[in-house]
Structure 1
Amino acid sequence: MTGRDHPPSYNPAMSQESTTQSRRLAIIGTGGLARELHELVEDINAAGTTTTWEIAGWLDGNAATHGTTVHDLPVLGDVDWLQANPDVYVTVGIGAPPTRRRVVERLRGLGHTRFATLIHPTAVIGRRVEIGEGTVICANVTTTTDYRIGQHVLINIMATVAHDDDLHDFVTIAPSAVISGNVTIGEGTDLGTNATVNQGVEIGAWTIVGSGAVVTKSLPANCTAVGAPAKPIKERPEGWHL
């Protein structure tokens, strides 16, 4: 197994098909992250992995974009387009965890369950790990071993994930964040650029950690924390993300 060959939901313990498979893919969103995912998919295809992607186009909730092109690909419509195209996989190019969760829940409500797991060819991926469907791992991410990454997680460029980490569903890890070993990050948490999380720390669900923060002690759910060491500066009601 190399770090380059990943099916839509990736578990290195699972056997993989030896023949190349091509799947159709739609990217949800047309903003900066969505366009970065287009580049990521092109890099996957160029690397000659066992799964390649034919990009059908973009899906966007802004009706003004429908019928236009982005990166020379058509904006096909809203996610309802998938009802007539149930075999198309999707990747959600939206960084904010609450919005990403709402989009995924809408897709599930439509009965659509084909979510692509995308891992850049330059990412270093451990062999004894679990990575959920719909997760995106970007260029030059470094990971080690025995960690779990949930569904629809976004790990941005040059971030680090260490041993025995547990990243729950819909987590976003911004560029160059460093997560030490034995860390638990709750559902929907947004970890800022260049943030550092020390060994053994637990961060509660739907918490926002500011850029450059140093998390030396566990943080509660539903707060915003900044600084070095990171301290909560704002609390939110449970369910604020819904």
Structure 2
Amino acid sequence: MADDLIIVGAGGFGRETVDVVEAINAAAAVPSWHLLGLVDDALTESNARRLRARGLRHLGSLEDLLALEARPRYVVGIGSPLVRRRIAERLDAAGFSAVTLTHPQATIGSEVTIGSGTVVCAGARVTTNIRLGKHVHLNPNATVGHDTVLGDFVSMNPASSVSGDCVVEDEVLIGVGGVVLNQLTVGAAAVIGGSACVVRDVPPGAVMVGVPARPMEVNL
């Protein structure tokens, strides 16, 4: 019997996560997941239309989910690492448990461990001897090289790439097409801008842009 599942977040990545769930079910002899619907505190009218067009239910707010007597499995489909952490911590404390979702068209190599709550989209490539933490998002066509560790709540946006022997600490966001070269460390909560190329270690909380990537200047 398929397990009940709720996705938190009805924006772009939340609906991409629906695609992952549907692909997993389609590839299995017996469906793995019964998607009850999506939870979103601030559902826009455009996203509401998109849900209706796909026959997906909006189940209300996070508070509505927490008020349920039942405890379905969950995954957070929200791109912001910090927001994702806050939601996951609330749900875990209330007795919910996160699932791991890997699209059948992703490539997962040998000696790979994947934490709970992680979503791996179609076309993602994870090679060998890699550890993905909890609630990691690998968007379509993201690549993680050998012997690399991604911490908890990391987001790799489409076509981004982390090379071999890297450490990407908790809550890092790597933008579309961003690149981290070999044997580097990206500190916690750093942001790598779209198409940026990281060539040296990144301190925690830094925002890196350009090629080669440099700290973004803020004009006050």
**TM-score, normalising length from structure 2?**
0.90
Q: 1:115-134 residue pairs with structure 2 within 5 A?
A: 115-134=98-117
Would the alpha carbon gap of residues 28 and 173 (structure 1) be closer, same or farther in structure 2, given more than 3 Å must change?
same
Deviation sequence 1:109-132 (CA, Å, 0-9, x none)? 3232x1110000011101311110
1:61: Cα distance to partner?
1.4
Kindly tell me the number of residue pairs found equivalent between the two proteins.
212
Q: 1:171 aligns with which of 135, 147, 154?
A: 154
The alignment-based identity, stated in percent, is 37
1:85 & 1:172 partners in 2: Cα distance? 31
Deviation digits for residues 187-237 of structure 1, max 9, x if unmatched?
0000011111111010000000001111111010011011111111258xx
CA contact (8 A) 2:197 2:210 kept: yes
Task: Indicate the residue corresponding to 1:106 in structure 2.
Answer: 90
1:151 aligns with 2:134: yes
For residues 149-187 of structure 1, what are the alpha-carbon distances to aligned partners after superposition, in whole Å with 9 as ceiling and x for unaligned?
Answer: 000000110011111101000000011111110000010
Residue 33 of structure 1: aligned partner = 13
Question: What are the equivalent positions in structure 2 for 1:1-242 lying under 5 Å apart?
Answer: 22-48=2-28, 52-62=32-42, 70=51, 71-80=54-63, 81-112=65-96, 114-233=97-216
Mapped to 1, the partners of 2:183 and 2:217 lie a distance apart of 23
SS state at 2:92 partner: helix
Deviations 1:14-46 (A, max 9, x none): xxxxxxx52111111111111111111111110
Q: Is the 8 A contact 1:129 1:147 kept in 2?
A: yes
Paired AA for residue 19 in structure 2: E
Are the counterparts in 2 of residues 223 and 234 from structure 1 also a CA contact under 8 Å? no
**Structure 2: gaps spanning 5 or more residues:** none
| Residue 183 to residue 29, structure 1, CA distance change in 2 (3 Å) | same
CA distance in 2, matches of 1:174, 1:49: 31
TM-score (norm 1): 0.82
User: How many Å separate the matches in 2 of 1:190 and 1:127?
Assistant: 25
Aligned to 2:107, the other structure's residue is in SS state: coil
Q: Aligned equivalents of 2:87 and 2:217: distance in 1?
A: 26
Counterpart CA distance in 1 for 2:30 and 2:203 is 41
Partner Cα distance (1:111, 1:103) in 2: 13
SS in 1 for 2:215: strand
CA distance in 1, matches of 2:43, 2:124: 35
Structure 1: runs of 5+ lacking an equivalent: 1-20, 236-242
Write the letter of the residue equivalent to 2:82.
P
Q: State the shift of 1:64 in Å.
A: 8.1
Partner Cα distance (2:211, 2:42) in 1: 39
SS of the residue 1:73 aligns to: coil
Q: Which amino acid aligns with 2:70?
A: P
